[in-house]
A and B are shown apart, each in its own frame.
Chain A
Amino acid sequence: MTPHTRWRPSLPPLRPPSFTRPLHDARTATAVGRWLGLAFAVCFVTGLISHYLQRPPDWLAGYLPSRPVWGYRLTQGLHVATGLAAIVLLLVKLWAVYPRLFVWPAVRGVRHALERLSVAVLVATAVFQVFTGLLNIVEWYPWPFAFVPTHYAVAWIVAGSILLHVAVKAPEIRGHWSLRSPGTLQLPAEDGPDRRSLLLGVGAAVGAVTVTTVGQALTPLAPLDLLAPRHPDHGPQGLPVNRTAAAAGVTRAALREWRLEVLGPRPYALTLDQLRALPQTTARLPIACVEGWSMDAEWRGVRVRDLLDRAGAAPEAGARVVSLEVSGAYRVMDMGQEYAKDPLTLLALALNGQTLSLDHGFPARIIAPNRPGVLQTKWVARLEVL
């Protein structure tokens, strides 16, 4: 009680719950919050990388780098792994500050109202973002909107809301940054060991979630991949599949008359036997899916560069690749010149020493370094010089 107590009308019988339990404090929020901020920062940056690799604006398409070959594998693996970690950190962070939801009076003025509104936007978008991401990696879409543009748009709102939140809370964050910060020292000292044990528990939770899922991208940890949507050991020819031939509407019958058409200044067509008779190149390249799983494989086929040259392409030409699939957002795929001229970019005919299976894109598919899996076009019917 402050000595300066004013008379107040008797309170209504229903009051928000009050929290006197320890650890709902700014030190806990700061300690968890900075890990959460780091996780969201990694998610945002890797997400932007993925977005621009997958849907580059025209001016950028020609400059996208085809190296390092494992670039997209790393960034998208990180995106999903940190996203999963962020689910744990976000819930603990929100638990730490949950009492603030019930502050009384609920609104103290315009400034306070704006601050609460910004926190509501932050909570809504952050929960939405990790939740939709979690459902996307199991390919479950219970909502009516398109996932990719929505996840992209909301990512900007989350990022902006976090910056705004850090700006608003800067004095409190600074006051609780370390164990010896003035704000931390004002908290009850006996909470220290309890908080430390909570943070250790949260670290254990993040570690457990990561270790049981990251094997879907980090192949050496595959034996511990117990809870991820993908596993390196499950898939035809030793490689998981994202879209089957059946899903793409490609049948053996439709391939009976298959020929590769190459359009350019000197157009031509090749049968599968003619393709096999051309000089073959072997490349070890990963399939790295936007859903976070990835795996290395050995591909063998004809260099795309050689096929484009034969059609009379200029050295800086890009390529358009058209699949035989009936429908699908990635039926037509463009690659910029960096990919088109990379000696590792292949029109692959074989995978891990065997002819491609139908689900892996028989008779011919694209495999290029440092590209999202959805752009590794399968069942290629036509190459066009751009």
Chain B
Amino acid sequence: MNGTTVLRYALGALGLVLIGVGAGQLALVPEAGAVALWLAGALVLHDAVIAPLVLAAGLLVAAAPARGVLRGALVTGGALVLITLPLLVRPGAPPNPSALPLPYVRNLLLVLAAVALAALLLTAVGAWRRRARERGEERQERGKGDDGGGERDKRDEGDEGDEGGERGEDDGG
């Protein structure tokens, strides 16, 4: 076993210890049976309801033009709806006048409208830039041979993909 493998097993063992600590704590909670039921419910809710819905939305988006922006808008809108949903469907009056004090339906619609507007703008900017690039290419075609560097620029830009306003290599972290 080399060092990395030892570290890996140690990490896994530590994980098992923490799981054991949590299970021990959970066993002390009165109504532990109900907790187990709700945990199973969480798994089913995700795997059988939320995930298929999101997948279906993803399949629809796949067919759309400018899908990068559309997908970003849907993920953002979906996230905003999800975190607001408990405020909207919570039964009963708010626990006190300073809790849940905002007009959440109006605010959610406002924020969603802002997301839609941003998506439209991004799409328009992307289309405009694509057209500008194509026009630039035409001009270069006409003035071919003037400038060797222009050819290289064009090729670099072409590799960027066609999403508007998204530049640079993303290392994800």
| Interface of A toward B, CB cutoff 8 Å | 21, 30-31, 34-35, 84, 87-88, 91-92, 94-95, 98, 101, 120-121, 123-125, 127-128, 131-132, 134-135, 138-140, 143-146, 149-150, 152-168, 170, 178-179, 192-194, 196-202, 204-206, 208-209, 212-213, 225-231, 234-236, 240-244, 247, 359
Contacts and interface: CB of A to CB of B under 8 A. Distances in A.
Contact of A230 (B18, B101, B162): B101
B22 A154 contact: yes
A294 B151 CA distance: 57
B166 A196 contact: yes
Contact of A150 (B35, B76, B102, B173): B35
A146 B15 CA distance: 25
B50 A91 contact: yes
A111 B73 CA distance: 40
B40 interface: yes
A105 B30 CA distance: 39
B117 interface: no
B76 A205 contact: yes
Contact of B95 (A84, A139, A155, A206): A139
B47 interface: yes
A165 B15 CA distance: 8
Q: Closest 8 CB pairs between A and B?
A: A201-B72, A160-B18, A156-B22, A193-B161, A164-B15, A163-B15, A197-B68, A167-B12
For the residues of B in contact with A, the DSSP-based class is helix
Contacts of B11: 163-164, 166-167, 170
B56 to A, nearest CB: 11
Contacts of A101: 47, 51
B45 to A, nearest CB: 7
B79 A162 contact: no
Interface string B54-96: 1100110010000011011101101110111011001100011
23 contacts: A21-B58, A91-B50, A94-B51, A124-B40, A134-B86, A140-B90, A143-B34, A144-B34, A159-B22, A160-B14, A160-B21, A161-B15, A161-B19, A164-B11, A167-B11, A170-B11, A179-B172, A197-B68, A208-B80, A208-B111, A212-B80, A226-B102, A236-B98
Given A149-B29, A196-B166, A209-B79, A204 B21 contact: no
Most chain A beta-carbon contacts within 10 A, residue among B15, B50, B107: B15
B172 A31 contact: yes
A159 B35 CA distance: 18
Contact of A84 (B42, B83, B160): B83
Contact of A152 (B9, B25, B97, B100): B25
